[in-house]
Structure 1
């Protein structure tokens, strides 16, 4: 059994074949899909996915850093309202993204901290988005560290030292398609990180693994990521699936 700990199944990239795409993933042994939030515009689509696949789809709630704009306080109010109304399995995806717009750094940090506080209030993991912002993300985590801070460093693409630092804040490393890239670099040290700190993800429809790089990603390609990880750790794919799914259960509580 494989667990995709991060997949945007509601993306309009899947509008023409969503049902078939999800079935392909399930046929390939992917039986659990954790769905990150972006902003309030996607909430109805997330709920529809949960309704259509109640035993396979598990929802997060949060405000993505690239959606932190002038109206971020209104968006965060909606996030908090959602948590008051029902249960979720994580606060995510949240964090800091300086690739697209560095001018919003200060409000991104405020939104990140606010949502970490929500995670502590509801005793939930966080799922971190970090792009061109390791130093800034670590600065916030250092301020918030403690036994009540835990989660996943989604789409981890950093160095060995950054991996160890993320783990020191009770974060698992979300390993996706980048591990299959020739220039991805994380494959050069990943086997030095205990696999108990690893979970698998696709981030579909983004970051397709080899041999699909440059094309639309989908959750069925998690098997390609699992295969690469099995080669790195020199253990069977079944063992990778078992360990990483158990790791995801430890994070999400299900």
Structure 2
């Protein structure tokens, strides 16, 4: 299984632009703000406050990048016509599919690690200005927040890619769903307040920042179920599609 995951990461590595964007864009954003802050162009607090503030910014970037990677991983074998040849080597569909999910996890960890490392360095460089110093808990909370959001939306995009089997359209649909579509369900709360349990962003917020308005908050158990249902449901739908493909 490890060899299959490594092979999928190797395919992604050939797309250097994607890797550079994934690893450098979150870091570049944080470094830009650090530069603006230490030159007194903008006001900012260092320490744990810096890490918390820029967790929000980097999670948005992580959502977009994880969606791009997830859609590509889910669709590339069918789009390139290589699924049949891989199956002829004797590797099961299940192992191939799980390897791609493993590659998605690895990318999300790398993306999150790069962002968190840069945020941590920035939090030490920027003056505290009355904020508390950065703690291990701040760093772990930032890592968890960025990773959970990137993986949840990456898994959603992965499922879309597996269902569609065409990389370009899969990326477009995944981005629309990640940035707009999924959370439009919040409009249903105008009909009944229960529908907030369908809004993925509220579930992620409850498990990370937990700063939603009181009327929008859900329980921790509900949040876990929400995130698991969206990400797990998308992966399951993609798997069922892969199982039915004739090669």
User: What interval of TM-score do these two structures reach, taking the shorter chain for normalisation?
Assistant: under 0.3
TM-score (norm 2): 0.26
Q: Which has the higher strand share?
A: 1
TM-score (norm 1): 0.26
Instruction: Return the structure number with greater relative CO, CA threshold 8 A, min gap 6.
Output: 2
Mark the structure with the bigger radius of gyration.
2
